[in-house]
C-alpha cells in the first residue's frame, strides 16, 4: 500500500472525531490541571481509558478512576499486587490490565479483580509493556521474556531466542505487526507470528522502551537518554538525542508527542514526514513547568477517545483540549492584553484595540496580521459605510488603510472614557461618554443629545443600530431609548423591561435583544419578552449578545458562553416569561470572563464563523461550528446517535441522630452492587439487594460521576429519590456532583441519577440504588398498632369512668332525695300525725262525757271518724315515703293492676308482660317509672280508641326498659312535639324521665298506634350491680355504697 493511501485510511479511521488542532501551539489549547490541592495522585506511571469511557490511572498506591472532579482509588483488594505499577492496557473487552515493577499483573473488570503471577505462567521480572493485537490476544513484555494469554493462562514464547534476555517494549501496528524492543534491538514479528527479523539496532539499555506509529505507517521507538529512532528505517539518525525523552505517542492527527522533562509535540502533518534533525528541532513545541505544568517531570501520556490529551506529572494530572476556544498569541513587546474593544472588520477579520499596548491590532483567520500604535481606546463601532471607528479619552479614531484619523471630543468630555458608540445609518455617530452623557457627531460638529429632547440625562451603557436605521441606547435601571426619524421614545420597567442596567444590545431580523445585569429580554416591535434559562445558569450580567444567521442566539456572561438554538420560536408564544433551553460552555471551556462595564461590545461575530470574546485581561476567539459539534461534548451510542454517558453512584453518606441529639456519620463506597465500605469495614452488597441503613437515619448524601473526560461541565445530572419525591432535580457539574436528601423517615427508597448533554433533551438510562432505612422500635407498624389499641382502650376506660361519675352523681342525687323523703316522713310522724292522734284522743274523751243520744255527741263522733280516716291516710303516706325495698314484682304488679283497672273501665283488652329475671329497683326510680307508665296507660285507654293495649317490662343487663303499646289511631307529629293545648301529660313524662337520666321515646303514626319506650341505665335503675367490662369483672364488695363507688 502506498504511503498516501495509508495516510488516507488513517484519516478516514478517525472520521468525525475532533483532535488537537496542529495549527495551534500547546499554550493555545485549553489547559486544566489538578494538583495536590485537588488530591491528585503524584507519580502516576500510566494512564488508560476503558471502553466504557472511564479514565484510569496507575501509581504506587494502586489504580483509580477520575471523572474530571474526583480521584477514586479502587484497587484495595487483599490479593492484588502491592508493588509499584509500571504500565496499563485497556483491552477491547472493557477490562483494565495493570503491570507491576516486581512482577505480575492485575485484571480489573466490572468491579472484579484477578491477579496473574508465575502460577499462571506469567513471565518473571518487571512488566515493561502490555498490548493487544487485532485478534484480541493480550501480550506482555517483561524482563523474563514475552508471553501471550491463551485460555486464561500465560504462554511464554520460548522459540524466540532474542526474548530470553528480556523484552522491554511491545507494540502492535495497524497492520497487526508485533514490534518488540530488546536490550539493544528492535524486532519485527509478522502479523501471522511465523517470522521475525531484526529491524534495527539500538543503544544497549534495560530501560523500558516505547513505540509510536505515524500516519504514514512508520514505526518510531524511544530509548531513554538516547533519543527517538525510526524502526522502519535503520539508516535514519536518531532525533532529539539531547532531550530527556521517556515515552512517545502519536495522536489521531499525526502529531508526535514526547514526555520526559517536558511535554513536547512535533507537528508532522505540517511538513510531511521526510524531515531532517534540524527541521524537527525548529518544529518542536515544548511546554514545561515554567509554562504551567504541575510538575517538572512528565510521567504518563494518553489521548482519550474525544481527542483530549491527558498528561501525568510528578505532582498532578493535566488535560489539554481543543475546545474551539483559542487564546491568540500575545504580540511581541506586549506584556498583557489589558482590556480590548472589538470591531468586526467586515471581511472575516477583526480589529482589536488592546489597552495593554496600547495598540490597535488586526486579526485574520485568528492570526495577527497587522499592528498599529494607538492611544487608549475603550469602545468601537463600524459605520454605515463600513468604516472602522474607535473612541477613548483622547477622542475618536477612524481607521483607514494606512492612516488613523483622530477627532477631538467636546471640551467638557475630554479625558473621559467612551462607554459605547454606534452609527445612525447615515453619516452620524452616537457616542456615550462616561459620566457626561450622549453626544452626536455628524462628521464636523458635536451636539449634546443630537439636539433632540426626551433622552435621559445619564450616559448610555450600550448602543446599537438596526438595519432600518433605528438607534437604540441602553441605560441603567431598566431604561431604553429609541431614536428614529428625529423622534425619541423612552421605554421603562412599566413597559415590560426587566434586565436592570442594559449592558448589551443586538438587533436581529425578528427582534432587538437586550441583555443586562439581571436578565435577557427581546423587543419584537410591540412588546418585551422576558427570557429565563431552563437548563443553564440564570441570566446575570449579560455583557455580549450575538444573533447568528442560523437562528441561534449566543450570550456572554460571567458563567461562560451559552447558545440558545432556534431562539425565534419563543417569540411566537404569547406567554411570558419564556423558559428557553440552552447549552452552556462554562469558565473551564471559555477560560475568560467579560469585563465589568466596558469596553463594549464584549462579544463580536466575524464572517469567518468566529466569535471574539473580550475579557478583563484576556482575548479569546471561538469556532462556532467546532464548539457545537465537537465530540468532546457528546458521546456516541452503538447506533451512531449521540447520547449522554451513563452515571454511576460512587458514594453514599448518611447521618444518624442518637437519643442524646448527637450526629453520627457513615460512608458507603461503591454501593452499586460492588464492594462498599461502611466506616472501616469493607462489605459487599449482593446485586439486587437494597442497602439497609440503621434506625434514626435522617439525612442521606449521594455522590455520583459519569465517564466523560472531554468537558465534565457539559454534563447535566438529574436526580430524584423515589419514595420521597418523584420530581427530577438538576445537579450541575461545576463542582463535585452530589445530592442530599434530608429529614427522611423509615421506609424503602430508590435513588436515581441520570445524565444529559447540556443542549440535548435525550438522557441516558438512570443509575439506581435501592436502600431501606430501618425503623426504630417506636417507628414500626406493630408499635403504632399497639399505640392505637392503647389509645382506644384509654378512651374506652375514660368513657366508662365518665359514665361511672355521671351514675355516681345521679345516685347521690337519688340518695339525697331518699334522705329528704325520710326526713319529711319522720317530721310528719313526729309532729302532724302525733298531734292529730292526741287531738282525736281528747275529742274522744270529750265525746264520752256527753249523753249518748245527744246531737252534739253524734257530731263529735262523726268528726272523730273523719279524723281517724285522715290519720290512717297520713300514716299510709308516711309509710310510702319511707318505703325503700319494695320488690320489683310489686312494681310490675302495680303496672299490671293499673292496666287491668283501666281495661275494666274502658272495655279494652290488656296484656302485661315481664321479661328477664327481676332485679331490685331504686325506690326513687321506681316511683318515677310508675308515674310515667300510669300517665302513658291513661293516655292509651282514654284517647287512642285502641282495641289492644300492652305493657312490657325488660330487666336487661345494661338497662331497665319498659314499653307501653297500643293499636289505636296514633298521635300526630305536632301533638308529639307540642302536646295538647292545656294538657301537660307528655311534658310531665319527659320531665320525670330527665330527672332519672333515662331515655324517653314516643313513636307514632296516624292509624298505626303509639309506642312509648322508657330506658333507664342499669347503674341508675338497679340498686346494686357489679361492674362488668370485657376484660374485667367487678363484684359487689361490702355494702351498696362500696359498689356504687366502684361503678
Do 259 and 207 belong together in one domain?
yes
pLDDT of residue 185: 93
pLDDT tens digits, one per residue of 762-773: 677 898 888 899
Q: Is the per-residue pLDDT at 878 higher than 80?
A: no
pLDDT of residue 662: 47
Q: How many domains, the chain?
A: 4
Q: Is the pTM of this model over 0.85?
A: no
Do 873 and 890 belong together in one domain?
no
Q: Is the per-residue pLDDT at 346 higher than 80?
A: yes
Which has more confidence, 668 or 43? 43
In eight-state DSSP terms, residue 864 is H
pLDDT of residue 884: 52
CATH number, residue 186:
2.130.10.10
Whole-angstrom distance, CA of residue 690 vs CA of residue 681:
18
pLDDT of residue 416: 92
Q: Is residue 61 part of a domain?
A: yes
Query: Which residue among 884, 913, 944 closes a domain?
Result: 884
Q: What is the mean pLDDT of residues 468-489?
A: 94
Whole-angstrom distance, CA of residue 595 vs CA of residue 936:
103
Q: What is the mean pLDDT of residues 144-171?
A: 91
Do 940 and 875 belong together in one domain?
no
Do 757 and 844 belong together in one domain?
no
Cα distance from N-terminal residue to C-terminal residue, the chain: 113
Do 662 and 703 belong together in one domain?
yes
pLDDT tens digits, one per residue of 63-111: 888 888 888 887 555 555 666 889 999 999 999 999 999 899 999 988 7
Among 74, 150, 43, 613, which residue's Cα sits nearest to residue 339?
Answer: 613
Q: Is residue 708 part of a domain?
A: yes
Residue percentage of the chain with pLDDT more than 90:
36
Which has more confidence, 682 or 513? 513
CATH number, residue 755:
2.60.40.10
Do 769 and 799 belong together in one domain?
no
pLDDT of residue 733: 53
Query: Which residue among 884, 916, 944 closes a domain?
Result: 884
Q: Which of 31-40, 355-364, 368-377, 735-744 is predicted with the least confidence, judged by mean pLDDT?
A: 735-744
The three-state DSSP-derived secondary structure of 644-659 is CCCCEEEEEEEEEECC
Q: Is the per-residue pLDDT at 680 higher than 70?
A: no
Whole-angstrom distance, CA of residue 748 vs CA of residue 874:
85
Confidence band for 7, pLDDT divided at 50, 70 and 90:
very low
Whole-angstrom distance, CA of residue 507 vs CA of residue 467:
8
Return the SS3 of 152.
Answer: coil
pLDDT tens digits, one per residue of 619-655: 999 887 777 765 444 544 444 455 567 888 877 877 7
Do 675 and 812 belong together in one domain?
no
Query: Which residue among 779, 800, 824 closes a domain?
Result: 779
Q: Which of 197-201, 436-440, 599-603 is predicted with the least confidence, judged by mean pLDDT?
A: 599-603
Which has more confidence, 827 or 781? 781
Instruction: Report the residue count for the chain.
Output: 1047
- Angle separating helix axes 923-943 and 888-906, nearest 10 degrees: 20
Q: Is residue 597 part of a domain?
A: no
Do 309 and 163 belong together in one domain?
yes
pLDDT of residue 710: 61
Q: Is residue 384 part of a domain?
A: no
Among 748, 737, 882, which residue's Cα sits nearest to residue 823?
Answer: 882
Among 170, 162, 224, 223, which residue's Cα sits nearest to residue 198?
Answer: 162
Confidence band for 1043, pLDDT divided at 50, 70 and 90:
very low
Q: Is residue 756 part of a domain?
A: yes
pLDDT of residue 881: 64
pLDDT of residue 713: 63
Sign of the Cα pseudo-torsion (461, 465, 470, 471, in order): positive
Calculate ∠ Cα 977-983-988, nearest 5°: 70
Q: Is the per-residue pLDDT at 599 higher than 70?
A: yes
Q: What is the mean pLDDT of residues 664-691?
A: 47
Return the SS3 of 173.
Answer: coil
Q: Is residue 841 part of a domain?
A: yes
C-alpha cell at 155: 504462554
pLDDT tens digits, one per residue of 687-710: 556 788 888 888 888 888 887 656
pLDDT of residue 82: 63
Report strand pairing: 948-955 vs 909-915: parallel
pLDDT of residue 10: 34
Whole-angstrom distance, CA of residue 698 vs CA of residue 745:
6
pLDDT of residue 545: 94
Q: Is the per-residue pLDDT at 936 higher than 60?
A: yes
Do 865 and 890 belong together in one domain?
no
CATH number, residue 907:
3.30.565.10
Do 78 and 156 belong together in one domain?
yes
pLDDT of residue 974: 79
Buried b (16+ CB within 10 A) or exposed e, 768-795: ebbbbbebeeeeeeeeeeeeeeeeeeee
Whole-angstrom distance, CA of residue 484 vs CA of residue 468:
9
Q: What is the mean pLDDT of residues 181-191?
A: 93
pLDDT of residue 216: 84
pLDDT of residue 2: 39
pLDDT of residue 397: 92
pLDDT tens digits, one per residue of 977-1032: 777 776 777 888 888 888 888 999 999 877 788 999 999 988 888 875 443 433 33
Which has more confidence, 827 or 541? 541
Confidence band for 583, pLDDT divided at 50, 70 and 90:
confident
Q: Is residue 559 part of a domain?
A: no
Element containing residue 481 per DSSP (H, E): strand 479-484
Q: Domain residues for 669? A: 648-779
Return phi, psi of residue 992, to 5°: -65, -40
Do 899 and 771 belong together in one domain?
no
Q: What's the mean per-residue pLDDT of the chain?
A: 82
Does a cis peptide bond (omega within 30 degrees of 0) precede residue 358?
A: yes
Whole-angstrom distance, CA of residue 620 vs CA of residue 612:
6
Q: Is the per-residue pLDDT at 546 higher than 90?
A: yes
Q: Is residue 760 part of a domain?
A: yes
Do 705 and 811 belong together in one domain?
no
Whole-angstrom distance, CA of residue 741 vs CA of residue 724:
9
Return the SS3 of 160.
Answer: coil
Amino acid at each position: 500500500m502506498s504511503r498516501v493511501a495509508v495516510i488516507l485510511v488513517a484519516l478516514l479511521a478517525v472520521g468525525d472525531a475532533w483532535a488537537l488542532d496542529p495549527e495551534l501551539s500547546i499554550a493555545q489549547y485549553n489547559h486544566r490541571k489538578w494538583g495536590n490541592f485537588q488530591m491528585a495522585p503524584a507519580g502516576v506511571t500510566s494512564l488508560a481509558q476503558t471502553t466504557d469511557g472511564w479514565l484510569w490511572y496507575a501509581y504506587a498506591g494502586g489504580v483509580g478512576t477520575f471523572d474530571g472532579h474526583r480521584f477514586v482509588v479502587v484497587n484495595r483488594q487483599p490479593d492484588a499486587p502491592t508493588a509499584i505499577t509500571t504500565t496499563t492496557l485497556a483491552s477491547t473487552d472493557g477490562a483494565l490490565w495493570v503491570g507491576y515493577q516486581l512482577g505480575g499483573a492485575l485484571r480489573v473488570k466490572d468491579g472484579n479483580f484477578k491477579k496473574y503471577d508465575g502460577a499462571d505462567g506469567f513471565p518473571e521480572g518487571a512488566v515493561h509493556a502490555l498490548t493487544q493485537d487485532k485478534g484480541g490476544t493480550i501480550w506482555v513484555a517483561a524482563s523474563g521474556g514475552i508471553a501471550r494469554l491463551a485460555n486464561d493462562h500465560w504462554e511464554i514464547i520460548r522459540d524466540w531466542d532474542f526474548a530470553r534476555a528480556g523484552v522491554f517494549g511491545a507494540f502492535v501496528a495497524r497492520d497487526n505487526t508485533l514490534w518488540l524492543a530488546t536490550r539493544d534491538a528492535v524486532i519485527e514479528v509478522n502479523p501471522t507470528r511465523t517470522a521475525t527479523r531484526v529491524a534495527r539496532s539500538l543503544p544497549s539499555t534495560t530501560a523500558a522502551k516505547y513505540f509510536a506509529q505515524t500516519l504514514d505507517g512508520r514505526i518510531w521507538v524511544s530509548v531513554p537518554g538516547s533519543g527517538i529512532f525510526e524502526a522502519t528505517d535503520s539508516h535514519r539518525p536518531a532525533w532529539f538525542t539531547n532531550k530527556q525523552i521517556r515515552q512517545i505517542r502519536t495522536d489521531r492527527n499525526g502529531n508526535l508527542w514526547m514526555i520526559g522533562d517536558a511535554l513536547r509535540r512535533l507537528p508532522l502533518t505540517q511538513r510531511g514526514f521526510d524531515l531532517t534533525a534540524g527541521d524537527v528541532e525548529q518544529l518542536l513545541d515544548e511546554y514545561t513547568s515554567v509554562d504551567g505544568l504541575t510538575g517538572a517531570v512528565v510521567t504518563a501520556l494518553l489521548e482519550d477517545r474525544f481527542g483530549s490529551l491527558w498528561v501525568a506529572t510528578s505532582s498532578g494530572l493535566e488535560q489539554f483540549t481543543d475546545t474551539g476556544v483559542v487564546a491568540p498569541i500575545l504580540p511581541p513587546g506586549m506584556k498583557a492584553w489589558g482590556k480590548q474593544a472589538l470591531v468586526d472588520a467586515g471581511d472575516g477579520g477583526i480589529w482589536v484595540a488592546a489597552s495593554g499596548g496600547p495598540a490597535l491590532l488586526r486579526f485574520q483567520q485568528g492570526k495577527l496580521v497587522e499592528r498599529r500604535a494607538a492611544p487608549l481606546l475603550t469602545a468601537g463601532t463600524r459605520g454605515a459605510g463600513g468604516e472602522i471607528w474607535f473612541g477613548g479619552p483622547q477622542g475618536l479614531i477612524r481607521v483607514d488603510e494606512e492612516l488613523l484619523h483622530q477627532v477631538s471630543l467636546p471640551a467638557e468630555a475630554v479625558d473621559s472614557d467612551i462607554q459605547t458608540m454606534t452609527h445612525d445609518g447615515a453619516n452620524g455617530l452616537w457616542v456615550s461618554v462616561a459620566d457626561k452623557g450622549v453626544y452626536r457627531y455628524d462628521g464636523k460638529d458635536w451636539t449634546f443629545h443630537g439636539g433632540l429632547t426626551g433622552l435621559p440625562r445619564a450616559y448610555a451603557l450600550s448602543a446599537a443600530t438596526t438595519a432600518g436605521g433605528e438607534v437604540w441606547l441602553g441605560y441603567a435601571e431598566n431604561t431604553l431609548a429609541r431614536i428614529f426619524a428625529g423622534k425619541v421614545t423612552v421605554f421603562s420597567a412599566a413597559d415590560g423591561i426587566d434586565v436592570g442596567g442594559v449592558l448589551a444590545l443586538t438587533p436581529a431580523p425578528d427582534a432587538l435583544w437586550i441583555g443586562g445585569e439581571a436578565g435577557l429580554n427581546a423587543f419584537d416591535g410591540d412588546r418585551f419578552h422576558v427570557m429565563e434559562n431552563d437548563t443553564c445558569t440564570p441570566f446575570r450580567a449579560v455583557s455580549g449578545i450575538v444573533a447568528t444567521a442560523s437562528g441561534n442566539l449566543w450570550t456572554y456572561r460571567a458563567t461562560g458562553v451559552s447558545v440558545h438554538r432556534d431562539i425565534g420560536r419563543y417569540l411566537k408564544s404569547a406567554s411570558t416569561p419564556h423558559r428557553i433551553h440552552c447549552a452552556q460552555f462554562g469558565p473551564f471551556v471559555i477560560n475568560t470572563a467579560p469585563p465589568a462595564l466596558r469596553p463594549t461590545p464584549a462579544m463580536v461575530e466575524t464572517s469567518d464563523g468566529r466569535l471574539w470574546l473580550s475579557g478583563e485581561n484576556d482575548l479569546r476567539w471561538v469556532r462556532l461550528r467546532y464548539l457545537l459539534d465537537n465530540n468532546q461534548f457528546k458521546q456516541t451510542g452503538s447506533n451512531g446517535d449521540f447520547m449522554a454517558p451513563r452515571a454511576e453512584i460512587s458514594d453514599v453518606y448518611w447521618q444518624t441522630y442518637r437519643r442524646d441529639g448527637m450526629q453520627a456519620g457513615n460512608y458507603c463506597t461503591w454501593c452499586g452492587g460492588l464492594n462498599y465500605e461502611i466506616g472501616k469495614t469493607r462489605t459487599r452488597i449482593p446485586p439486587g439487594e437494597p442497602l439497609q441503613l440503621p434506625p434514626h437515619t435522617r439525612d442521606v448524601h449521594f455522590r455520583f460521576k459519569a465517564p466523560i473526560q472531554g468537558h465534565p461541565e457539559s454534563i447535566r445530572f438529574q436526580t430524584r429519590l423515589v419514595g420521597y419525591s418523584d420530581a427530577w432535580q438538576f445537579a450541575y457539574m461545576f463542582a463535585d456532583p452530589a445530592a442530599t436528601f434530608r429529614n427522611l423517615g423509615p421506609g424503602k427508597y430508590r435513588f436515581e441519577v441520570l445524565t444529559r448533554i447540556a443542549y440535548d433533551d435525550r438522557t441516558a438510562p438512570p443509575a439506581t440504588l435501592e436502600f431501606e432505612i430501618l425503623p426504630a422500635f417506636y417507628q414500626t407498624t406493630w408499635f403504632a398498632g399497639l399505640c392505637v389499641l392503647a389509645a382506644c382502650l384509654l378512651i374506652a376506660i375514660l368513657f366508662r369512668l365518665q359514665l361511672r361519675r355521671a351514675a355516681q352523681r345521679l345516685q347521690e342525687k337519688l340518695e339525697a332525695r331518699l334522705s329528704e323523703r325520710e326526713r319529711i316522713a319522720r317530721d310528719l310522724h313526729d309532729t302532724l300525725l302525733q298531734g292529730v292522734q292526741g287531738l282525736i284522743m281528747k275529742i274522744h274523751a270529750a265525746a264520752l262525757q256527753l249523753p249518748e243520744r245527744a246531737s252534739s255527741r253524734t257530731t263529735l263522733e262523726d268528726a272523730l271518724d273523719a279524723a281517724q280516716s285522715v290519720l290512717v291516710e297520713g300514716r299510709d303516706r308516711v309509710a310510702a315515703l319511707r318505703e325503700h325495698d319494695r320488690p320489683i314484682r310489686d312494681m310490675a304488679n302495680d303496672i299490671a293492676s293499673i292496666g287491668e283497672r283501666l281495661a275494666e273501665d274502658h272495655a279494652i283488652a290488656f296484656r302485661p308482660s315481664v321479661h328477664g329475671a327481676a332485679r331490685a329497683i331504686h325506690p326513687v326510680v321506681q316511683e318515677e317509672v310508675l308515674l310515667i307508665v300510669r300517665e302513658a296507660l291513661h293516655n292509651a285507654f282514654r284517647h287512642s280508641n285502641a282495641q289492644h293495649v300492652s305493657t312490657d317490662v325488660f330487666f336487661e343487663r345494661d338497662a331497665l326498659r319498659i314499653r307501653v303499646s297500643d293499636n289505636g289511631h296514633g298521635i300526630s307529629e305536632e301533638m308529639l312535639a307540642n302536646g295538647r293545648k292545656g294538657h301537660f301529660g307528655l311534658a310531665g313524662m319527659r320531665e320525670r324521665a330527665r330527672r332519672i337520666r333515662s331515655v324517653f321515646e314516643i313513636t307514632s303514626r296516624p292509624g298505626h298506634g303509639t309506642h312509648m319506650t322508657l330506658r333507664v341505665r342499669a347503674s341508675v335503675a338497679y340498686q346494686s350491680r357489679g361492674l362488668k367490662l370485657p376484660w374485667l369483672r367487678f363484684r359487689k364488695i361490702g355494702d351498696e355504697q362500696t359498689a356504687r363507688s366502684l361503678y
